């Protein structure tokens, strides 16, 4: 679920154990999965509203329900996106997870990887191959390229989406120009940011599990797709497909 999950008092990054770091990585990864699901629900809802007459008729049959549903999704998305960069002292965020990896390159040593592989149900041949071919960071500086790649995306969340969470959704602050806040948002840019963060999480996981060098310079999860791309890759976007199935059932016809 998207509720804020407290992990208890957070240890200083320098004192993180391997298990601590893996737990924090999973926590942020789960939060990002939730945000991506909500984002894709919203994108498919907008797409159907703009491109399907059958869907629009279904929406207009019970407009209050669909308006509230859309607004709830939007609030969940802004709250969820902001949690990725929440700087509260007791909260795990993307920066902390990345800093933890940079502070503890020993988590990714060949020796540590070999010990982890020994606990898995994998062949000795495969384990030996993964250890021998592993990309091993010599120091935290070797992971700095990850921070460089995602810094502008984290800055985007901190400067555009956190203020909306704080001033509009978290607290209904009076005297705030909500329109000015929302005018700074951009769906395409947010999709790119979520793609980049997904690449970061997958990259760190593959580095830890298999010794693979993280990549954050490739086309990611395609959170923001055109109508043609949605049709072409529908099987790859379960949230969009599930929302489409619901609307199709309500409309009683193909969309």
* Nearest residue to 196 via CA among 124, 98, 120: 98
With pLDDT > 70 as the criterion, what percentage of the chain qualifies? 89
Q: pLDDT band at 1, cuts 50/70/90?
A: very low
DSSP 12: P
The per-residue pLDDT for range 158-172, each reduced to its tens digit, is: 999 999 998 888 877
Which position has the token pair 């990002």? 32
Residue 8: per-residue pLDDT: 60
* Nearest residue to 138 via CA among 114, 112, 105, 104: 105
The per-residue pLDDT for range 117-150, each reduced to its tens digit, is: 999 888 889 999 999 999 999 999 999 999 999 9
């Amino acid at each position: 679920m998207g509720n804020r999950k407290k992990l208890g008092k957070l240890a200083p990054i320098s004192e993180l154990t391997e298990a601590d770091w893996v737990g924090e990585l999973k926590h942020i990864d789960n939060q990002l999965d939730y945000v991506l699901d909500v984002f894709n629900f919203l994108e498919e809802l907008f797409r159907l509203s703009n491109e399907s007459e059958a869907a629009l008729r279904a929406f207009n049959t019970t407009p209050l329900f669909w308006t509230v549903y859309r607004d709830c999704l939007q609030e969940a998305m802004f709250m969820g996106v902001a949690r990725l960069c929440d700087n509260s002292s007791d909260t795990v965020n993307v920066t902390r997870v990345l800093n933890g990896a940079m502070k503890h390159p020993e988590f990714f040593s060949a020796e540590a990887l070999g010990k982890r592989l020994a606990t898995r149900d994998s062949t000795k041949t495969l384990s030996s191959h993964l250890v021998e071919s592993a990309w091993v960071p010599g120091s935290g500086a070797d992971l700095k390229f990850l921070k460089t790649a995602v810094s502008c995306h984290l800055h985007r969340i901190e400067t555009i989406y956190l203020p909306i969470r704080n001033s509009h959704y978290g607290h209904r602050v009076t005297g705030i120009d909500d329109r000015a806040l929302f005018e700074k948002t951009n769906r395409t840019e947010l999709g790119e940011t979520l793609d980049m963060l997904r690449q970061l999480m997958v990259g760190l996981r593959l580095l830890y599990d298999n010794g693979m060098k993280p990549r954050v310079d490739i086309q990611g999860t395609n959170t923001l797709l055109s109508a043609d791309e949605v049709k072409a890759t529908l099987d790859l976007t379960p949230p969009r497909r599930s929302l489409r199935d619901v609307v199709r059932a309500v409309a009683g016809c193909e969309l």
